[in-house]
Amino acid sequence: WSGRAACAQDSVCVPEAQVVMQITVKDFITLINNYIQEVRHGRSDCGPTLASWVQQLQKHHPSKIFSLAVIELEEYFRAQKCCEQKKVREAVTGKGGRTQKERKKPKNGDVQQLAKLSRVDVEEAVVHLQLHNGVSVHFFSTWREFSDYITMTTKALAEAPFKREREQTSFSFCLESEWAGGQRVNKAGEGLLQVWKRQIQQLHRVSSEVAAAVVAAYPSPLLLQKTYSECRTESEKVSLLSDLLIRRGEGITSTTQRAGPELSKRLYLLMHSCDPEVILDSCL
């Protein structure tokens, strides 16, 4: 792939680092068989293995990020299974000879002539490739799946520069999660309770159960602020929410625990600190 940078004004295209290589089943099985022969039987004269073949690619193209695509590998395993079943039938019936029709037109002949490997052999070689070479292997049942994958990857690469630029220009205090759409609030005020709950959940290590307990006790920031104003001392304000009970789970397995002084102090600083740069956890 190649594409223009997000800020480029001319039409010069820059090559992408990602490379998807489609490898045939025949070459894939041959490379894995060479790996199995080398690892399990100590043979080094079988030819390049899957890992050594990829290493050569990485050596000649050090700036590229490779991934392999294998199409219709299941046909290889089905052909091997059919061949084994046929041998069993021939051994049982005592008919080991091939008919004239089979000799003339063998079924899946190209696949049956390949080395016999199990799924475990293939998985072992693929895992070794991922761990030692950092190259992933994608398997596709049909060419249509492969074309859909290429389309998806092309779209992702085209959108990547714009997404990176958007991340660099975003604000640190803006949550990039499922809340990005915000909470809808109608004219009757429905939705404000969820806004208040989400504001509390923005604090570090504050779960949904903790925020729900605070919202249940103080349904609005104004009520919490009013309760703070009724406290006589500063220490009383800081520990106002320490004894607030938080329920976790449901049914007979549910448990309750106190909010504790740490959460109480962080909420107090959230409501009263005049420093916009204050780090709440550092004040504990």
| Share above pLDDT 70 across residues of the chain, in percent, rounded to a whole number | 82
Architecture of domain 190-279: Orthogonal Bundle (1.10)
Find residue 257's DSSP bridge partners: 246
Do 76 and 29 form a contact (C-beta atoms < 8 A)?
yes
Q: How far is residue 129 from each of residues 124, 145, 152, 251, measured CA to CA in Å? A: 9, 23, 24, 48
Cα end-to-end span (Å), the chain? 51
| 60 pLDDT more than 50 | yes
Q: What is the pLDDT of residues 207-227, one digit of tens each?
A: 888 889 999 999 999 999 999
Name the more confident of 100 and 231.
231
So what's the pLDDT on residue 173?
A: 54
| 133 pLDDT more than 60 | yes
So what's the pLDDT on residue 198?
A: 86
Over residues 254-271, the mean pLDDT reads 86
So what's the pLDDT on residue 201?
A: 85
Over residues 56-78, the mean pLDDT reads 92
So what's the pLDDT on residue 86?
A: 82
Q: Which of 58, 38, 56 is nearest to 46 (CA)?
A: 38
Over residues 40-45, the mean pLDDT reads 77
Output the six-digit token pair for 42. 């100590």
Over residues 158-164, the mean pLDDT reads 79
Q: What is the pLDDT of residues 165-200, one digit of tens each?
A: 766 665 555 555 555 556 777 888 788 888 888 888
So what's the pLDDT on residue 99?
A: 52
Q: Which of 133, 136, 135, 128 is nearest to 39 (CA)?
A: 128
Over residues 93-99, the mean pLDDT reads 61
Q: What is the pLDDT of residues 248-262, one digit of tens each?
A: 877 666 788 888 888
E strands, 131-275, where? 136-140, 245-248, 255-258
So what's the pLDDT on residue 105?
A: 46
Domain coordinates in residue numbering, the chain:
2-168, 190-279
Do 114 and 30 form a contact (C-beta atoms < 8 A)?
yes
Q: What distance in Å separates the CA atoms of residue 241 and residue 260, rounded to the nearest whole number?
A: 7
DSSP string covering 61-107: -TT-EEEEEEE-HHHHHHHHHHHHHHHHHHHHH---SPPHHHHHS-T
Q: How far is residue 145 from each of residues 34, 71, 81, 139, measured CA to CA in Å? A: 28, 9, 24, 9
Output the six-digit token pair for 106. 């063998």
Degrees to nearest 5, angle at CA 222 with 219 and 228? 100
Over residues 275-283, the mean pLDDT reads 71
Q: What distance in Å separates the CA atoms of residue 240 and residue 105, rounded to the nearest whole number?
A: 86
Indicate the residue type of 144.
R
Do 104 and 20 form a contact (C-beta atoms < 8 A)?
no
Q: Tell me whether the CATH fold assigned to 2-168 matches the one assigned to 190-279.
A: no
CATH class of 2-168: alpha beta
Name the more confident of 192 and 137.
137
